[in-house]
Amino acid sequence: MRDVYDELRLREQELRLITDALPACISYVDADQRHRFINRTYEVWLNCSRDEILGKSVRELVGDMTYQILEPYINQALGFV
pLDDT in tens, 24-61: 999 999 999 999 999 999 999 999 999 999 999 999 99
Q: pTM for this structure? A: 0.81
Please state, in angstroms and rounded to a whole number, the distance separating the CA atoms of residues 39 and 20: 5
CATH number for the domain whose boundaries are 2-77: 3.30.450.20
What percent helix, strand, coil does the chain show, rounded to 5? 60, 10, 30
Residue 28: strand pairing partners: 37
Residue 57: strand pairing partners: 34
The pLDDT value recorded for residue 2 is 76
Query: How many C-beta atoms lie closer than 10 Å to residue 54's C-beta?
Result: 14
